[in-house]
């Protein structure tokens, strides 16, 4: 079994990478359809030849990196199992302490460190690529700081979740997936509540919007939509990126309206207000809560399928991998492997749902701020600054695009004008 896994990986992964490369670089074209040539969605009408070339190159390399990374974590977990690292991590934790709330987090820390170290080259290539094409403005030390913060925040959260999960596995072997899901409901809600005020500030500095006139106009839009906000926050993203963004996140008293300073620096007032109207549209249509509900429902399906599959895998191959039972912490790589596979399978469906929500927010924004030129201008500027493709390949759209493509968004605005 182990030898077959290794041989299959050595043969299939390079073939997969080659096929993805051919698809992205040779089998697809970034050109817009003939019907949209000369329209506001045609890059030739708003981008220079150099900007178009840079956008195409950056998008192709970025997409290649994404698709290489898609199965990469699966391969790491397979390596942990094949080379017998999982029982070693378990024994190390047990030597430190026999208590579950100590030995399980130690195991999680060791596994997380291995995954992070093996994944680091891909992450670094992504950082260098972003810097080379003028997206990232971060120096290496700043980027590493963010990487380490993400690692430790992720470890703390994961260490807690996995400790509770494996205690439930021992206590309720047939219902642990259900009890774990019931505990995840308040956890997801709590995380959504604390993220704007506890987690996001770990990465960037948030201040009140420095332009009082613009803040007043944004708050007027927010109050029109019954958003309980009395300030707009500005975040100093220009220290890290040239990309633009704005969002409304959090729930209850921790809800925040946020603008990146790059958005303020690169869009005019009308374009900025359209972008904010789009984000307000998400709140008005309850997309924040719908996203929360979607995460809760998908976690139920994911936990149940993992419960069913985990028993099958451990029963067939547990002895080869040194995993004694499902509730044995050394089964964690198998659990993560299964969750990663399920996540990849569900990604196209999740992206399609997200694209529908984003289209609805676009439609709300143009109704609220019927300045078509500003709306189209904001999308064109987002394309230029983000080195984005206007019309990405279908496979890229299905897996990577939680928004409609820029071509679809701009065409929608032009058709709205006609309607």
Q: Tokens representing 285? A: 């249509």
Does 237 fall in a domain? no
pLDDT for residue 2: 72
In DSSP notation, 376-397 reads: HHHHHHHHHHTT--SS--HHHH
> How many other C-beta atoms are found inside a 10 Å radius of the C-beta of residue 315?
11
Confidence of residue 417 (pLDDT cuts 50, 70, 90): low
DSSP symbol at 343: H
Number of domains observed in the structure of the chain: 1
Classify 233 as helix, strand or coil: strand
Q: What's the chain's average pLDDT?
A: 94
Q: Within a domain: residue 267?
A: no
| pLDDT higher than 60, residue 419 | no
Q: Is residue 298 part of a domain?
A: yes
Three-point CA angle 353, 359, 361, nearest 5° = 105
21: pLDDT confidence band, cut at 50, 70 and 90?
Answer: very high
Predicted confidence (pLDDT) at residue 25 exceeds the cutoff of 80: yes
Burial class (CB in 10 A: 0-12, 13-18, 19+), 48: exposed
Q: In this structure, how many other beta carbons lie within 10 angstroms of the beta carbon of residue 8? A: 11
Determine if residue 358 is labeled as part of a ligand binding site: yes
Q: What is the pLDDT of residue 1?
A: 67
Please say if the pLDDT value at position 416 is more than 70. yes
Show which residues are catalytic: 279, 362
**74 vs 344: CA distance, rounded Å:** 10
Kindly state the tokens that stand for 214: 């613009």
The token duo for 262 is 């790059």
Place of tokens 């182990």: 2
Report CA 272 to chain centroid distance, whole Å.
Answer: 24
* Angle, helices 85-96/72-82, rounded to nearest 10 degrees: 70
Whether residue 98 lies inside any domain: the answer is yes
Region 378-396: mean pLDDT is 95
Is 403 within any annotated ligand binding site?
no
Q: Tell me the pLDDT tens digit for each residue of 94-121.
A: 999 989 999 999 999 999 999 999 999 9
For helices 212-224 and 269-284, what crossing angle results, to 10°? 30
Residue 210 confidence class, pLDDT cut points 50, 70, 90: very high
CA distance 103 to 329: 9
**What is the distance between the alpha carbons of residues 29 and 49, in angstroms, rounded to a whole number?**
16
Range of the domain at 198: 2-202+287-418
CA 325 distance to own-chain centroid: 32
Is 363 annotated in a binding site? The answer is: no
Does residue 211 fall inside a structural domain?
A: no
- Tell me, yes or no, whether 363 lies in a domain: yes
Residue 369 has pLDDT above 70, yes or no: yes
Place of tokens 């708003």: 46
C-beta separation of 63 from 55 below 8 A: no
CA 321 – CA 306 distance, rounded (Å): 18
Per-residue pLDDT tens over the stretch 59-91: 999 999 999 999 999 999 999 999 999 999 999
User: Residue 393 domain-assigned?
Assistant: yes
> Tens digit of pLDDT for each residue in 232-280?
999 999 999 999 999 998 888 888 999 999 999 999 999 999 999 999 9
For position 201, what pLDDT does the model report?
94
In the numeric block, which tokens belong to residue 140? 């290496």
| Torsion angle defined by CA atoms of residues 227, 229, 231 and 234, in that order, rounded to the nearest 10 degrees | -60
What is the reported pLDDT for 342?
97
- The predicted model gives 345-354 an average pLDDT of 96
Beta bridge partners of 50: none
- Answer whether residue 332 is part of any domain: yes
* Helical H segments across 285-331, by residue range: 287-321
């Amino acid at each position: 079994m182990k030898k077959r896994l290794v041989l299959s990986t050595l043969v299939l992964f390079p073939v997969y990478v080659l096929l993805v490369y051919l698809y992205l670089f040779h089998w697809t074209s970034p050109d817009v359809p003939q019907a949209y040539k000369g329209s506001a969605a045609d890059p030739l009408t708003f981008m220079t030849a150099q900007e178009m070339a840079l956008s195409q190159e950056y998008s192709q390399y970025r997409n290649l990196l994404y698709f290489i990374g898609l199965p990469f974590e699966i391969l790491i977990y397979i390596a942990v199992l094949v080379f017998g690292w999982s029982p070693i991590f378990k024994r190390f934790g047990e030597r430190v302490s026999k208590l579950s709330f100590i030995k399980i987090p130690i195991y999680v820390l060791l596994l997380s460190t291995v995954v992070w170290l093996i994944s680091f080259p891909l992450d670094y290539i992504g950082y260098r690529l972003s810097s080379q094409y003028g997206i990232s403005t971060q120096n290496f030390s700043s980027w590493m700081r963010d990487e380490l913060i993400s690692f430790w925040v992720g470890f703390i959260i994961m260490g807690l979740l996995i400790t509770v999960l494996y205690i439930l596995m021992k206590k309720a072997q047939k219902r642990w997936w259900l009890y774990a899901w019931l505990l995840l409901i308040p956890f997801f809600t709590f995380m959504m509540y604390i993220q704007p005020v506890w987690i996001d500030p770990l990465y960037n500095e948030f201040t009140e919007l420095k332009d009082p006139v613009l803040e007043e106009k944004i708050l007027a839009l927010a109050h029109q939509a019954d958003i309980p906000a009395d300030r707009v926050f500005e975040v100093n993203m220009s220290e890290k990126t040239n990309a633009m963004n704005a969002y409304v996140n959090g729930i209850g008293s921790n809800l925040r309206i946020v603008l990146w300073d790059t958005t303020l620096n690169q869009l005019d007032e009308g374009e900025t207000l359209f972008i904010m109207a789009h984000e307000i549209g998400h709140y008005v249509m309850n997309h924040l809560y719908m996203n929360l509900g979607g995460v809760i429902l998908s976690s139920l399906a994911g936990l149940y399928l993992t419960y069913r599959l985990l028993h099958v895998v451990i029963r067939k191959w547990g002895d080869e991998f040194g995993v004694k039972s499902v509730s044995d912490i050394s089964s964690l790589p198998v659990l993560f492997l299964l969750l990663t596979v399920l996540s990849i399978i569900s990604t196209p469906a999740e992206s399609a749902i997200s694209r529908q929500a984003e289209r609805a927010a676009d439609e709300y924004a143009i109704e609220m701020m019927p300045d078509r030129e500003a709306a189209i201008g904001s999308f064109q500027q987002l394309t230029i600054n983000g080195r984005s493709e206007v019309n990405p390949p279908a496979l890229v759209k299905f897996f990577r695009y939680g928004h409609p493509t820029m071509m679809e968004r701009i065409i929608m605005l032009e058709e709205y004008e006609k309607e």
